[in-house]
Amino acid sequence: MPITEWDMPGIYILLTGDGSGRVYVGQARRLRARLSQHNSKEKLPWQRAVAIKRDTTDGFNTAEIGYLEGRVSAEISALDRLTVIQGQASGDETLPKHMMLSLDSFVKSILAALRLAGIDTTRSNPEQDPEDESPASTTSGRATFNAKFADLVSSGLVRGGETLHLRQGAVEATGTVTGDGEIVVRGVAYKSPSAAAANALGLQSSNGWITWHVGSLAGITLDVVRRQWLEQQGEEFARPSARSDHTAVEPVTGADV
């Protein structure tokens, strides 16, 4: 690929090789020129860089790279082993929600690229909340299913881009639903509603299913939506198949073959 193709907007992460775990997250309208500047005016003794651009004619615009810089900085800052020595704490929130949803998918790709570069992006506190994983049954009692937040999003009961709200005491917070069923709080995505709620409130734990409200503080809770999803699954499970309604199946003996 010609090096001139990197003279376009994007974000970058500078990586050190001294074992300190320090990284620098930045954005640039011309990636190649900006990285050259870092060679002459070092913010840290970096050895490698992960650079991200959009492989299209127009590429990213400045608002998009501002959003990505904030999201990636926040995700890396949430890792105990890495330290962002400079970078935006929050991204550009002026973008329409549908554009944020599209960019959120880039964040996962960027973290995957960091893993390929030898950087461990695994969180030291995995999201293991009993209320998220425990089985729940339908009110009809027909069947029992495990429900995850991503199930609510994939079914359309909660939309990607939706804003969730919570309030506990004097603390209020919001989260944004991603297209693949995570909740972004202060730039960090969580699969678990409870992990997202705990981080939003600054607590060790919180049952996000009953504290997150959809759309506004007056909206229904995620627990209500989860029960709707469970009812749907129970109805689907109990519904006779087309074959049992319309097809007669006769046994086949060895003599018939």
Same-domain check for residues 53 and 102: yes
Q: Are residues 7 and 108 in the same domain?
A: yes
For residue 111, what pLDDT is reported?
93
Q: What is the pLDDT of residue 255?
A: 43
Which range among 2-6, 43-47, 129-133, 253-257 has the greatest average pLDDT?
43-47
DSSP string, the chain: --GGGGSS-EEEEEEESSSS-EEEEEEESSHHHHHHHHHHS-SS-EEEEEEEE-SSSS---HHHHHHHHHHHHHHHHT-TT-EEEES-SS----S-HHHHHHHHHHHHHHHHHHHHTT-----SS----HHHHS-EE-TT-S-EE---HHHHHHTTSS-TTPEEEEEETTEEEEEEE-TTS-EEETTEEESSHHHHHHHHHT-S---HHHH-EESSTTSPBHHHHHHHHHHHHHHHHHSPPHHHHH-------GGG-
Please indicate, yes or no, whether residues 93 and 141 belong to a single structural domain of this protein: no
Smallest CA-to-CA distance from 183 within 94, 88, 171, 206 is with 206
pLDDT at 240: 61
| Beta-strand pair 163-168/144-145 | unpaired
The percent of residues above 90 in pLDDT, for the chain, comes to: 49
Asked if residue 108 and residue 48 are part of one domain, the reply reads: yes
Q: Is the dihedral of CA 60, 78, 197, 109 positive or negative?
A: positive
Please check whether residues 162 and 230 belong to one and the same domain: yes
pLDDT of residue 126: 55
pLDDT digits (tens, 9 = 90+) for 21-62: 899 999 999 999 998 888 776 667 888 999 999 877 778 998
Q: By C-alpha distance, which of 125, 105, 138 is closest to 195?
A: 125
Nearest CA-CA partner of 16 in 115, 133, 118: 118
Cα 133 to chain centroid, rounded: 18
pLDDT at residue 133 greater than cutoff 80: no
Given this model, what pLDDT does residue 121 score?
87
What would the mean pLDDT of 4-22 be, rounded to a whole number? 88
Both 98 and 143 in one domain: the answer is no
152 shares its domain with 70: no
- Could you tell me if residue 151 is inside a domain? yes
Would 192 be classed as within a structural domain?
A: yes
- Cα 50 off chain centre by: 20
Is residue 90 in some structural domain? Answer: yes
Q: Is residue 150 part of a domain?
A: yes
User: Within this chain, do residues 177 and 203 fall inside the same structural domain, yes or no?
Assistant: yes
pLDDT tens digit string along 215-239? 999 999 999 999 999 998 877 665 6
Question: Are 139 and 69 part of one and the same domain?
Answer: no
State residue 55's pLDDT score: 79
The answer to whether residue 82 scores a pLDDT higher than 60 is yes
Q: Are residues 161 and 111 in the same domain?
A: no
* Residue 256 in domain: no
**pLDDT tens-digit readout, 178-225:** 999 999 999 999 999 999 999 999 998 899 999 999 999 999 999 999
Instruction: Count CB neighbours of 9 within 10 A.
Output: 20
In a domain, 255, yes or no: no
Residue 122 lies in a domain: no
What is the share, in percent, of the chain residues with pLDDT greater than 70? 77
Q: Which of 116, 141, 156 is the last residue of a domain?
A: 116
Measured in degrees and rounded to the nearest 5, phi and psi for residue 244 equal -70, -25
Instruction: Name the residue with higher pLDDT: 246 or 39.
Output: 39
Higher pLDDT, 56 or 249: 56
| Structural domain boundaries enclosing 49 | 3-116
Q: What mean pLDDT comes out for the span 5-32?
A: 90
Render pLDDT for 86-118 as a digit per residue (tens, 0 to 9): 755 555 667 888 899 999 988 999 999 999 998
Q: What's the domain count of the chain?
A: 2
Is 184 contained in some domain?
yes
Q: Is the per-residue pLDDT at 243 higher than 90? A: no
